[in-house]
Structure 1
Amino acid sequence: MSLTDLTRAVITAANAPGLKRVRQLGSQLDSVHWEKLCFDPSGTRLLAKADSRLRWWNLDTATDVASGSVELKMEPIEALFHGSNHIVTAGPPVEEAAVTWRPRLMAFSTTDGSLWREETLSAPAIGLAMSRDGMLLAILERGEALLWDVAAWKWVRDLLGVEWHVQVKACAFSRDSRFAAVIVNYYNHDQAALYLWDLKASAHPWVHPLGFEFAAGVAFHPTRPLLVARGVHEVVVMDVYERSVLRTFNDDRHYVSNLDFSPDGELMVSSSDTHGFALYHFDTGEVLFSHSDESELTTGDAVFSPDGRFIACAQGDGTVGLWAVDPAS
């Protein structure tokens, strides 16, 4: 972040009621179906995927205009930073593709948006996640899953046990890159499920029915061996080693659609259906702060910055709000 941004306080349970919007990034878009957000590991760049458009901002600058953008032919499922210099996504073929009729894994430069690398995939990707060490998890439409080394730009290995009749809602790696998790909705019955792989083994994943119908998000706790699966109202906390549910809680006031942790794991943030977000205390499930513009427009992701000083929220008009607390809070 810039020197000005570093004067902001880290968001905590004590100062969360003082959150306020301090910047609004980008211009309004005519139509936004859903917007996914991602900070780069340094927190100096923020990426937004809205429909088939990728936009990113350099937060060290004072301007709220995007520093780069890429328009794809079709909508990718996800876009992620690899370091600060590249954006990785799984997108459709274009005329310049190596194999024009096949979907591709693509990496773009954050400097000018140029295509850095590409690789043909066997099927469209329906889920992506990036680990801290640069490994990419890709879930493909045909019930395939693979690990991809982005830095070396090569296949590492396939993962076993993916079913083809699922809608992937979110993927995540544990902080130490040992575990990978996917939360899905099944097409043929009304219960969401969790897939959990131990990447030190070559076995099938632990598949756990979650007891609710609609999956929303999944995230590993940043400091404890815990995994959280989120439904639109429900939260399930699990022990990744014991493969057991530790506790559950509900929030019937918000209909949420994603999940992210503060760096210390004290707080969770989720976007809501009211053009806003809700901030929770992880251990108690208490809602510490919520914001709503009471808009009919669909909101997108809400995510923490890597230093815990900001929450970015994708707003229904295509802009992105940055929220923070004052240094004295």
Structure 2
Amino acid sequence: MTASFDGTVRFWAVGDIQQFTPAVLAADPQRGLVAVGGENGAIALFRDAAGPAQQLRHHSDAIELLAFSPDGRWLAAASADGAASIWEVATGRLQASIPHEARVRTVAFNSDGSLLVTSSRLHAFLWRWQESTTRPLVTLDLSQLMKTDIITGAAIHPTQPWLAIVTRDGKTLIWDYRAMQVVVEAADDRANGRAQFSPDGSLVVSESNEGTLLLRESASLRLRDLPATHRGGIAGFAFDPSGTLIATIGFDQTAKIWRIADGVEITRMGTDGVPAAIAFSSASDVAIAGANGSVVRLPIDVAPALELALVRSRRPTAEECDRYQLAREDATLCANP
């Protein structure tokens, strides 16, 4: 990986895990926890930036998604082998394995860690999680509601009894799991990927097959204008803990940080190959997993990054071109008028 804004990079080592290619990543910004899921089904759990990874093994196929519980006690994993698992973070012990009908694409805790949502094919499942036991609460069968494609993403609202569901054929819906009914739905020609609510629940976001983020207001599913794009497509995204920033990675081998309020691209970082996943590992750091096997933490200093973003938005002066070395990035920015 290359190029944080201030040039500082911290590496986590996953090379000691045999045949480990990072596929997904989750972080707990409050406690500095980072977990990386591999294409071989292994999970690398880092409890601090300096320490070695603990290897968690249970799954026989790729890890599709990871999620920490809000209190940092539990780590949940979704796998292509048709199971979801829950691990105790302090010990690395497997606490529960939940079989599904097919590939599990989604796993997420609610705001107090008592509920877990998973999804597989046309079904979304809500589970009660208490210590080391899971109890099924609600199952949503999309085939009974509409003609649609498989569920690619599901998320649970932090305060309302809502699930956000997105499908491969472009449908987005908010489903009330207490009333057992659809609150609102929207259709789009662009296929959806994963889904995530903002920390305050006001927004729900998914990535499209056109290389853009689809940012919607949760209550109405009205699209918000956010010019978050990557050439070739978006490979992952993550909100910062405050919900004011969103990070994206793309197949154009870049990572970008956006300010949600006005869509300003605050900073852009080049990556060594196509990145696999991104998450905020603290309020001022992002963790990025690369398909080449690297996992790095990059500090983000928002103030100077925003200053640079504003310079990029207009024709820079000669002094700014020299200070920020903009000609290296784009020769046209500093071309003589």
Question: Counterpart in 1 of 2:93?
Answer: 114
RMSD of aligned residue pairs (Cα, Å):
3.1
Measured in 1, the distance between the counterparts of 2:231 and 2:79 equals 36
Q: Residue 324 of structure 1 corresponds to which residue in structure 2?
A: 299
Shift of 1:165: 6.0
Any residues of structure 2 matched to 1:161-310 within 5 Å, and which? Answer: 161=142, 166-186=149-169, 192-204=170-182, 206-212=184-190, 214-223=191-200, 225-231=202-208, 232-247=210-225, 249=227, 251=229, 253=231, 255-295=233-273, 298-305=274-281, 307-310=282-285
Please name the residue that 1:35 is paired with: 23
Counterpart code for 2:45: W
Tell me, yes or no, if structure 1 residue 153 matches structure 2 residue 130: no
The residue number in structure 1 matching 2:313 is none
Answer yes or no: is the 8 Å Cα contact 2:155–2:165 preserved in 1: yes
Match of 1:56 in 2: 45
Is the CA contact (8 Å cut-off) linking 2:230 and 2:249 kept in structure 1? no
| Aligned partner (choices 117, 121, 129) of residue 137 of structure 1 | 117
Q: Percent identity, please.
A: 15
Letter in 1 for 2:293: G
Q: Deviations over 1:50-81 (max 9, x none)?
A: 1111111011x633x21343252222422322
Q: How many residues align?
A: 292
- The answer to which structure, 1 or 2, has the higher relative contact order (CA under 8 A, 6+ apart) is 1
Counterpart of 1:6 in structure 2 is none
8 Å Cα contact 1:25/1:320 also seen in 2: yes
* Cα distance between partner residues in 1 of 2:300 and 2:80: 40
Q: Structure 1 residues 21 and 136 mapped into 2: Cα distance closer, same or farther (>3 Å)? A: farther
Q: Secondary structure at the match of 1:77?
A: strand
1:67 is matched with 54
1:10 is aligned to none
Please state how far the C-alpha of 1:309 moved relative to its aligned partner: 2.1
Tell me if the contact between 1:161 and 1:205 (Cα under 8 Å) persists in the aligned partners: no
Matched, 1:85 2:73: yes
**Shift of residue 129 of structure 1?**
2.2
SS in 1 for 2:139: strand
Does structure 1 retain, via aligned residues, the 8 Å contact 2:29–2:280? no
Determine the C-alpha separation between the residues in 1 that align with 2:95 and 2:5.
42
Residues 161-214 of structure 1, C-alpha deviation per residue, up to 9 Å, x if partnerless? Answer: 35786344433222325322133213xxxxx222322334211364322232x4
**CA gap 1:222/1:105 in 2 versus in 1, 3 angstroms:** closer
Deviations 1:15-53 (A, max 9, x none): xx8454431112347866652111137333111111111
Unaligned runs of 5+ in 1: 1-16, 94-102, 187-191
Q: What does residue 314 of structure 2 align with?
A: none
Taking structure 2 as the reference length, what is the TM-score of the superposition?
0.74
- Does the residue aligned with 2:124 lie in a helix, a strand or coil? strand
Structure with the greater alpha carbon radius of gyration: 2
Q: TM-score, normalised by structure 1?
A: 0.76
Moved more, 284-293 or 215-224: 215-224
Q: By percentage of residues, which structure has more helix?
A: 2
CA distance in structure 1 between the aligned counterparts of 2:66 and 2:147, rounded to whole angstroms: 22
Alpha-carbon separation, structure 1, partners of 2:252 and 2:168: 23
In the TM superposition, residue 90 of structure 1 has moved relative to its aligned partner by 4.0
Deviation at 1:328, TM superposition (A): 9.7
Unaligned runs of 5+ in 2: 305-337
CA distance in 1, matches of 2:265, 2:233: 13
Alpha-carbon shift at residue 148 of structure 1 (Å): 0.6
